[in-house]
Amino acid sequence: MNWYRLVLGLFLLSLAANALFFQPGPPPMQTSTPPEDCQDSPLPRPVPDDGTAPVTGEVAQAVENNSIVEINYTVVENSSGQAFTVTLPSGAKLVNQSGFSQDGDQLRTIPDQGDRLTLRYALTKMGHDEEGQFPNASYTAGPEWIIAPTPEHGGPDVTLQPAASGFIGLDILYLGEYTRHSTMAGCQNITIIKPEATGFDPEPRLNMLSNAAASLSGGTTYSTVYVFPSPKPIPAADGFVPEFQNNIIIEADASIHSAWNVWIHEYIHTRQVEYSGENFSWFQEASATYYAAQLTLEQGLISPIEFDAALARYAQHQPTTNLATAESEDIAYRWGAVVLARLDASLWQRGHTLAEMWNDINQYDGPSYSKFERQLSSRGLSESRLNETRAIVERNAQPDPSPVYTSRMSWLPGALLAHISAIYQSFVAIVGGAGLAIAGRELWTVVGTSD
């Protein structure tokens, strides 16, 4: 046996093990207090489930086109003579109807007892009427399942029931076979409506979302959040939260082991307000993107190096618009996340976190950028850090290409750091493989000789 080769092999194995298992750990969780003050679901629509409503509706997926929802209403009674109205939300387009008169986007009738009404609508692009962020995104459908918006009803109370299996929510409905999975995060119930056509395990995702809920102490917190995973890709988006709703539509196959964690990203949107302050609209996507990476790191679902590499890639983005006025443009996701990562790192050094400011930021319609800057200054951020941030936000100065702070590889050039995760994993595999081959060969020699 060659002792030098054995020692070399064991050294390479220990080097790979150190790189793999002794990476710098993630920072401590910023808070671990589950939500304690939840508010009711937004935009309540009259969809009681006790079967006693004056109007009942049976909801089905059209046989000839799986992207069409058909609702057959029966008027049980209308002694008050109320007008019955139906309004289709963004993402739905009228196909045909019977028994109503049409007034713009609203269907209207004053029904009598025993009347039967029919509504058929198809899935369509979201457009700019609602949140305007993903005009080309849409709800999804497939053979024997559909995720669609629930119409808004006015006048007599309405009970909607699926013709077969399905879940009818206030704002979103699912038709098809499914299972329901829930968890509690303080006062908040998080429920996944899991289509039978999907194959993921819901429990790790519920646990992850529950932990994410506890990591943000403020913001809007609804008593219930529904997650509708789509068995097929969502056009023009990995997921979305319709404006002012507590519902998440997301691709079922979206990974939770990624800095671009769409599950957490979309959950963050349910905790936000609309940021209408001057030069601050970018914060909506920036904070969702940053906290998706940060909370995924905190939960150990990605490594610090993967976190570093993601932020370095974001910093290299070449924008076509200004960050100050961006809303859903790529610069808000990428440069915005880098800005918040650098600010949070600076706040940590002074005994504060960005999460401390979350509640203030999510009051009313959010602050202006200048007020946000004053809040940072009051927590001890240096004038140089504030000037650097202001230059990125207001003058589109390129962010530092190495915005990382959790990895000892942060000294590497940004161009290399952006790809360091793949390089690093390759390094570990090559070094570990070489060490195993060398040491294994020498040990096999000893075993063979002893035989």
Q: Residue 258 has which token pair?
A: 């990624």
Q: What is the pLDDT of residue 407?
A: 55
Q: What is the pLDDT of residue 81?
A: 85
Q: What is the pLDDT of residue 413?
A: 58
**String of b and e for 168-185 (b: at least 16 CB within 10 Å)?**
bbbbbbbbbebeebebeb
pTM to 2 decimal places: 0.83
CA distance 391 to 162: 54
CA distance 147 to 41: 19
CA distance 417 to 102: 58
Q: Taking a C-beta distance cutoff of 8 angstroms, is the pair 147, 174 a contact?
A: yes
The amino acid sitting at 251 is: E
Q: What is the pLDDT of residue 233?
A: 94
Provide φ and ψ at 440, rounded to 5°.
-60, -40
User: Per-10-residue mean pLDDT for the chain, 451 residues long?
Assistant: 59 55 48 78 54 86 95 89 91 94 90 94 72 70 95 90 92 95 95 96 97 86 94 90 88 95 96 88 94 93 86 88 90 94 88 84 80 92 92 89 54 54 58 62 61 52
Q: Which residue has the tokens 């949107």?
A: 269
Q: Taking a C-beta distance cutoff of 8 angstroms, is the pair 417, 410 a contact?
A: yes
pLDDT in tens, 383-405: 999 999 999 999 989 887 654 55
Q: What is the pLDDT of residue 242?
A: 85
Q: What is the pLDDT of residue 28?
A: 47
CA distance 276 to 366: 6
Q: What is the pLDDT of residue 450?
A: 54
Q: Which residue has the tokens 């790191």?
A: 297
Give me the half-sphere count of Cα atoms (radius 13 Å) on the Cβ side of residue 152: 11
Distances (CA, A) of 342 to 27, 237, 298, 369: 14, 27, 17, 16
